[in-house]
Amino acid sequence: MSLPACSAIPFLTTLAKKDLNLTFRKALTSDMGYLLKLREDTMNTHLAKAGFELSAENHRKGLEYEFENAQIILLDGKQIGMLKSREYVDYFEIIQIQITPELQGKGIGKQVVQTVISKAFSLGKNVQLSVLKNNPAQRLYNNLGFKIKDEYKHSFIMQVTMPD
């Protein structure tokens, strides 16, 4: 059974923090060039270490997967990343999050993930994601309370659950 998804999660239209002026907008097909480069820049190392073939076709397929749920992350109006997320009946899924390499480690990814968690918890839902086993983003997810729920050859399914 397929669960309904939100094509654009409304809470992602604006997001503000005193030191970061982050906003989101729906990704458009005209963003494909930017998003393909972003995917290559952020994922090539991790995909290669996991043994995946690094081809333009595979990157395009990864980008097109759930593209209707993609949001461009903007910092002060400038494109700095992409988030794909989906709301199911009983949980939220972070499908992909990619931040421009130069801006990684500055709290942007953390703020984006915390926002998804806050929204999900406010609706009584957990959040889950998949992360490659060799991706250092696992540290961020662990620090935000995600726990390994399942394991596959190359990845972990991680979930953060609502507090009791």
Q: What is the pLDDT of residues 87-146, one digit of tens each?
A: 999 999 999 999 999 999 899 999 999 989 999 999 999 999 999 888 888 999 999 999
pLDDT in tens, 146-157: 999 999 998 999
Instruction: Enumerate residues 6+ apart whose C-beta is below 8 A from 7.
Output: 68, 69
70 exposed, middle or buried (CB, 10 Å; 0-12, 13-18, 19+)? buried
User: What CA–CA distance (Å, rounded) separates 129 from 144?
Assistant: 12
Residue type (1 letter), 110: K
Query: Residue 159, Cβ neighbours under 10 Å: how many?
Result: 18
CA dist 52 → 48, 55, 58, 130 (Å)? 5, 9, 9, 16
Residues 51-98: pLDDT tens digits? 677 777 887 888 899 999 999 999 999 999 999 999 999 999 999 999
10-160, CATH topology level: Aminopeptidase (3.40.630)
